[in-house]
A and B are shown apart, each in its own frame.
Chain A
Amino acid sequence: GAVVSQHPSWVICKSGTSVKIECRSLDFQATTMFWYRQFPKQSLMLMATSNEGSKATYEQGVEKDKFLINHASLTLSTLTVTSAHPEDSSFYICSAPGQGISPLHFGNGTRLTVT
């Protein structure tokens, strides 16, 4: 079935540095990808929609200058957390519209810890 690969699975960085997270669709093309942030106690928040060849669409309240999204090709979207702070520590999950019965296929997530 369709697979979405997310990398890295975990990263620790120092406050003030930037971190890039990659999301790749394997064996299928994704003109659109979605980035979620998962808070403690499980709730998922849609951060933005990544669009190949155009600007990302951010949800209300998400800082686009803080969370830079680039959809470089039909199989790759990246999320860069710029000037990271401890409050950016979270679990970030990407997804792509489904092939088959699932509306979305999810990556395995990236645990970001900012010290």
Chain B
Amino acid sequence: GNSVTQMEGPVTLSEEAFLTINCTYTATGYPSLFWYVQYPGEGLQLLLKATKADDKGSNKGFEATYRKETTSFHLEKGSVQVSDSAVYFCAALSGGSYIPTFGRGTSLIVHP
């Protein structure tokens, strides 16, 4: 089956800093890749996705590029805000399934 590895958190940044949260995956074939965000006390929301190699998903200033050669899908944002404080989950989904494999989540804390 698939597996997803995320960097350990928490990641603590000052407002307007550059963000990278690393995510790598192992899978048979070419899975679709996702980033979900969980704000405090809430469920998960889809942030962005990419379905094939070299695709770039983007939303709300966040970006991630599907890198087949490094089996990675790192999340980046050029300038974080306090409101971006949340837990971010990387996930992989192979064809024929609708249950993604989630990473352990990375907590992001942004200070004013």
Distance (whole angstroms) from the CB of B49 to the closest CB of chain A: 6
Q: Are B43 and A103 in contact (CB under 8 A)?
A: no
Is B66 in contact with chain A by the CB < 8 A criterion? no
Is B45 in contact with chain A by the CB < 8 A criterion? yes
**A: number of interface residues (CB 8 Å):** 24
Is B25 in contact with chain A by the CB < 8 A criterion? no
Q: How large is the interface on B (under 10, 10 to 19, 20 to 34, 35 or more residues)?
A: 20 to 34
Is B23 in contact with chain A by the CB < 8 A criterion? no
Is B64 in contact with chain A by the CB < 8 A criterion? no
Inside 8 A of A98's CB, which chain B residues have their CB? 98
Contact residues of B with A, CB < 8 Å?
Answer: 9, 32, 34, 36, 38, 41-46, 49, 87, 89, 93, 98-100, 102, 104-107
Contacts A102-B46, A104-B44, A106-B36 supplied; 18 other A-B pairs, CB < 8 Å: A41-B105, A42-B89, A42-B105, A42-B106, A43-B104, A44-B89, A49-B99, A93-B43, A95-B44, A101-B49, A102-B34, A103-B34, A104-B99, A104-B100, A106-B44, A107-B43, A108-B42, A108-B43
